[in-house]
Amino acid sequence: MKVELLKPLGPCILKAQIPEEIVSKLNNYADQIIEDNKKKELLDHGKKLAGDVTQEFLLEKDFAIKSGWAKFLASCVQQLTKFGENKDIKKFEIISSWIVRQFQNEYNPIHWHGGHVSGAGFLKVPKDMGGYIQDKKNKNYKGGSLILVHGTRQFLSGSTFTIKPEVGDFYFFPSYLMHTVYPFKGSDEERRSISFNAKIDEEIHNVYAG
């Protein structure tokens, strides 16, 4: 599995590639939930999340295990803590994992997650997510991008990290790291992402213990 350690701002971030087989299973699962009104209502997670988006629903735990998704998350978090703290985790407990269906003009306001470790990645990305009405300054359009936010901009230290969505890319980070998704425009296609929250060993997470 290909992984890459990033440190564009304060905390360590791990970028990993979701195996194509798991991406396919996740998308097929999502498509089935969308068509199943009973499950769609049962797994609805939108009321507990910050996003102003079309739909957000939980992954069932048995599916997360059978599909290999839970194993992928555990393996990557193990590498994140090894790179960031030089420690091996013994505990990995998924609190929840969910899929977000976002369409043009929808957005996710700046927020953070619960648990110890979180992450976000991409299952579907529109071919075109728009641009500025007037591009006189050749600005970098951020519509549809995932923006990670930490602290304030200082010398040799940025405060934001802009991630352009690519299918299969997944980013792991500490749950306290604030992030947001700007609205995109110009496309009726779906931007489909997946996130999770998890707990690890308290003695590793709590750097103030002892």
For every residue of 40-76, DSSP letters joined together read HHHTB-GGGS--BSSEEEEPPHHHHHHTTHHHHHHHH
- Does residue 165 carry a pLDDT above 90? yes
Please state the φ and ψ torsions of residue 147, each to the nearest 5 degrees. Answer: -115, 120
Q: What does the pLDDT read at residue 87?
A: 92
Average pLDDT on 151-167 reads: 89
Set out the domains of the chain in order of their start, with CATH numbers. 3-202 (2.60.120.620)
- Residue 131 confidence (pLDDT): 84
Listed in sequence order, the residues at least 6 apart from 123 whose beta carbon sits closer than 8 Å to its beta carbon are 23, 26, 27, 30, 99, 167, 192, 193, 194
Confidence at 140, pLDDT banded by 50, 70, 90: confident
Confidence class for position 210, pLDDT limits 50, 70, 90: low
